[in-house]
Structure 1
Amino acid sequence: MKNNKIIAIMMTTTMLAAAFAGCLSDDENVDLDDSDGGYEYASNVDNHRMLMGDVCDIKDLSGSYDWDGVKNIYESGEHAEKSDGSYRTLMGFADASGKNHAYDEYYDADGSWNDFVSAAIEGTGPFAGESDTVRDQATEKGIQNGIMTAYAIHELNAAIIKAEAGNWGPDDAQHAWDEGWAFYHGPDDAGADYDGCGPYATADKRAGNFGTANADGTAATNVATLAAMNDGLTALQNEDMQGVIDARDEVLKNIIIVYSQASVRYASKMTDDLAAGDTADYDKHQAEGHAFYRVIEAYVADYTSICYNMVSHQVSSDNSQTSCEAYMYLENYTSPNDPNGEEFTGCYNSVTHTQHENMSQEECEAYGWYANYYSDKIVAMFDLANDGDASADYEADIRSWLQPAWDHFGITAEDIGTLQ
């Protein structure tokens, strides 16, 4: 009897040791050399790179609707072990306040990406009553693209803040810059395939959809982003602040291209789904578009605002609220600088100094500023409660709605490409 107990204990110990060793071997076998995807790190960011392992595992678990497993890794971490034995977690970043990105301010909520992802995992809030398929798409896209992109942007901005304080070195600004690439790309060890779980991988997929990849299948956006990251690191090493800012802005521009492509693609799929009467695919693709657009909404929405005249029903060329609200109707007006000058009756803009002599008072006083106007239309289209309009051409719609933002960032039709 005693021998049986000893044997049982030994077997249990052996199995636990084997299981534990198996968990470690996954991480130990990941080749963390000094570079990933053409970017050579100036500092050690191995822990940050390994966070991509959590993303990969969550994608697998979410795809099988193992919500408890997803939640465990999301909240507790699995691969990115710190020196003190604790784990860097996806939730830890997503739920943190004071991060250097635009999302929390735009959505007026600390931890705005955690709000989105946690609701998808738990089936609450906008995901209450939604199918596992919808929740899976929101969870996967929200983590791989939303959280990891937010993390990358945060680190690039953190690098600039550190440099502005005079801390340019590999332990400070350069380290933060390295982290940005780690979160965007992930380890490039082919055996682990962790670089298939980050924003970099999404960019390559979308380039394949839009004909904007090179012969090797690498997205033009990834080529440009890698060049900007290398330029930014060199600028930090040379203490060239404008060079760092320019590199950060180039990365952001290409992020907007990637997730514009993603938003356009899934808007197009929604149109096809409605034509086919396939409500399940419509819901799935809507959830994907919903998550993808959220990656760029905070950065493009402001540039989709319009100045609209409620009488003529025309969009004005005014691109600021100040000029839009500066119209006034003048009657028999003479400039105090030229009291003997010709009288003017009509509509006058005190900011742009444009005159509309033939405009009626009613029309002149009918201009109004509509903040985030086109962006709000995109949000409404991807709203999970929207059952769709079978007569709409969502691809054409979203392209026209995003055009003002593309113009602002200098994004061309060639940058976006043609949906294949």
Structure 2
Amino acid sequence: MNHKKVKGLLLIALMAVSGLAGCLGTDDDEDDETASTMDAADGGYTYASNVDNHRSLMKDLCDIKTAASAYDWTTAKDIYTNGKNAQKSDDSFRTLAGFAAAEGKNHNYDTYYNQTGSIGAHIMAALDGTGDFEGTSDTVRYQGVAKLTANMGMVGYTIHELNAAIAKADAGNVDDDSGAPHNWDEGWAFFHGPDEDNSCGPVATLNKRGADFGTETDGVSNTFIAIEDAMVAGLTALQAEDSAGYTSAANTVVKNVITAYSQAVLKYTSKMDNADSGEKYQAEAYAFWKVMEAYSAPHMHDGCYNMAVGHKVMMMGEIDASACDAFIWTNGSMDSNGANDTCYNTVNHMVSTDATDKAGCDGYTSNYYQDNYAATLMNNVLDLTDATQLGTSYDVTAWLQPVWDHYGITSDDIGTYA
């Protein structure tokens, strides 16, 4: 799949100008002003509007997972494409495919992958055994179907709804049933779902990773606690037309999504050396990486390639090509009378340990700038069709560190995998 680097805001810029945002509508945005027949709350979040139909979609994920676990791709694909549990008032069904394959959604995935319906394309590849899943085993395809639908699909749906809510609120539409609070409710419905079904969605992933990395409180992951608190606060802020409040809440959600899925990628890339289950762990890492890639790769290391030092690439953080021209051979102690002994970059103030003489230092040039270098390394490791990537335990911390720096994620937030 094509990858396009996007450098910009934390949340994707909304497609409608603020003057039109009040009438923003989508094919997945069905207002229902009738009374809800389900519980008033899921988790610690109380809905402001009726989103029963949206909440019911989580049951589809449970059923897709059950079918895929038996390698019954036909049934799994039928539920994904045609729906089963989220029946609308016109007797049609809300489907995950209807969102995942749609054009113009308010998330970064399609822009990053340069592909309309990119979330759906990833899921369909796993269901059909094509694309990134061409020639892979049933074990790998199952992990792809189960993890991509529950995580990339539902997180993407959530981000879309939060952005739709922000657009409506910015335009002054804060009616509970048809305005920003309704979209915010939909975001929680897709992220959490009914309490009895949330083991089939993102919440289960967050809580498992909290347990893995020691970042939990009373058995609940710190990332989930932060997201739930932000969603509750964000709803209140929307109703009060507090722009700073609801924008901060949305950013907190994204930050903690990145934290949790970073933990997942760290865990499963480290387990790829397992002789019996390496391909399974690679597939899990792949699926979790796809949740965060569009929001992470733009902030990962770019590289400067140098043929003169043995064809090595120096990871440089987030840079432009011109930074690769900014290496100078100088005295590392800044002694004007001393001999030059250091290859120093005047843009990001890094020192190359590979270049040990002027000729090596001069080998850095913008002609060999490596855009998205660390993200490319990650995608190479997670190439499901390349068996040579298996058999190695990877520590991808260095590749992800600039992402954590961008979002203000600390080492305590990540924790330690036990």
Same fold by TM-score, threshold 0.5 exceeded? yes
The partner residue of 2:203 within 192, 196, 200 is 200
Match of 1:45 among 29, 51, 61: 51
In the other structure, the counterpart of 1:179 is: 186
Name 2:150's counterpart in structure 1: 144
Residue identity matched to 2:267: R
Q: Which residue of 2 aligns with 1:126?
A: 132
Q: How does 1:202-221 map to 2 (within 5 A)?
A: 202-215=205-218, 217-221=219-223
Of the three residues 298, 305, 316, the one matched with 1:302 is 298
For 1:190-211, what per-residue CA distance to the aligned partner results, in whole angstroms no more than 9, with x for missing partners? Answer: xxx3111111111011111111
Q: Given that residues 326 and 350 in structure 1 are in contact (C-alpha distance below 8 angstroms), is that contact kept between their aligned partners in structure 2?
A: no
**Structure 2 partner of 1:327:** 326
Higher CA-based Rg:
1
* Distance in 1 separating the partners of 2:253 and 2:51: 20
1:251-283 alpha-carbon deviations (Å, 9 max, x no partner): 000000111111111111112x1xxx32xx111
- Return 204-213 or 93-102, whichever deviates more: 204-213
Residue 101 of structure 2 is aligned to residue 115 of structure 1: no
Corresponding residue SS for 1:84: coil
Matched, 1:135 2:141: yes
2:20 aligned residue: none
Q: In structure 1, what is the equivalent of residue 284 of structure 2?
A: 288
Partner of 1:385: 385
Give the count of matched residue pairs. 363
Q: Is 1:74 aligned to 2:73, yes or no?
A: no
Q: Distance in 2 between matches of 1:403 and 1:328?
A: 23
What is the alpha-carbon distance in structure 2 between the residues aligned to residue 135 and residue 318 of structure 1?
34
Opposite residue 324 of structure 1, the aligned amino acid is A
1:352 and 1:262 map into 2 onto residues whose CA distance is: 30
1:229 is matched with 231
Counterpart mapping for 1:79-98 below 5 A: 79-98=85-104
8 Å contact from structure 1 (residues 327, 364) kept in 2 = no
Question: Distance between the aligned counterparts of 1:352 and 1:200, measured in 2?
Answer: 38
Shift of 1:112: 0.6
Change (3 A) 1:389 1:97: closer
* TM-score, reference length from structure 1: 0.79
Q: In the TM superposition, what whole-angstrom CA distance separates every residue of 1:81-128 from its partner, at most 9, and x where no partner exists? A: 111111100100000010011111111111111111111111122222
- State whether residues 307 and 321 of structure 1, in contact with CA within 8 Å, keep that contact through their aligned partners in structure 2: no
Using the TM superposition, give the Cα deviation of residue 406 of structure 1 relative to its aligned residue in structure 2, in angstroms: 0.8
The equivalent residue for 2:173 is: 167
Alignment of 1:307-318 (within 5 A): 307-308=303-304, 310=306, 315=314
Amino acid across the alignment from 1:40: T
Distance in 2, Cα, partners of 1:285 & 1:390: 9
Q: CA distance change for structure 1 residues 111 and 317 in 2, over 3 Å: closer, same or farther?
A: closer
For the structure 1 residues 61 and 31, does the alpha-carbon distance in structure 2 shift closer, same or farther, using more than 3 Å as the test?
A: farther
Q: CA RMSD in A?
A: 2.9
Task: Report percent identity of matched pairs.
Answer: 47
Q: Which has the higher helix share?
A: 1
2:411 to 394, 410, 413: 413
1:322: how far off? 6.7
Q: For the Cα contact (< 8 Å) 2:99–2:157, is it kept in 1? A: yes
CA drift of 1:232 comes to 0.7
Q: Structure 2: which amino acid aligns with 1:320?
A: I
Partner SS, residue 308 of structure 1:
strand
SS at match of 1:270: coil
Given the superposition, is the C-alpha separation of residues 133 and 352 from structure 1 closer, same or farther in structure 2, using an over 3 Å criterion?
Answer: closer
Is the 8 Å Cα contact of residues 315 and 373 (structure 2) preserved in structure 1? no
Choose from 261, 285, 290 the match for 1:259. 261
- C-alpha separation in 2, matches of 1:348 and 1:298: 31
Amino acid at match of 2:386: N
TM-score scaled by length of structure 2: 0.80
CA distance in 2, matches of 1:391, 1:285: 11
The AA in structure 2 aligned to 1:95 is A
Following TM superposition, the consecutive aligned residue runs of length 4 or more in structure 1 with deviations greater than 6 angstroms are: 347-354
Q: How far apart in 2 are the matches of 1:292 and 1:220? A: 18
CA contact (8 A) 1:305 1:370 kept: no
> Any conservation in 2 of the 1:58–1:70 contact (CA below 8 Å)?
yes
Q: Specify every segment of 5 or more residues in structure 1 that has no aligned partner in the other structure, as ranges.
A: 1-29, 330-346
> Deviation per CA, 1:8-53, whole angstroms, max 9, x where unpaired?
xxxxxxxxxxxxxxxxxxxxxx972111000011111111000001
Given the superposition, is the C-alpha separation of residues 210 and 71 from structure 1 closer, same or farther in structure 2, using an over 3 Å criterion?
same
The answer as to whether partners of 2:140 and 2:279 remain within 8 angstroms in 1 is: yes
Q: 1:27-38 residue pairs with structure 2 within 5 A? A: 32-38=38-44
How far the C-alpha of 1:351 sits from its partner, in A, is: 7.4
Say if 2:301 and 2:316, in contact at 8 Å, map to a contact too: no
The answer to whether the 8 A contact 2:101-2:116 is kept is: yes
C-alpha separation in 2, matches of 1:318 and 1:174: 38
Deviation at 1:144, TM superposition (A): 0.2
Distance 1:125 1:352 in 2: 38
2:27 aligned residue: none
Q: Using the TM superposition, give the Cα deviation of residue 246 of structure 1 relative to its aligned residue in structure 2, in angstroms.
A: 0.7
Distance 1:141 1:389 in 2: 20
C-alpha displacement at 1:169, in angstroms? Answer: 2.0
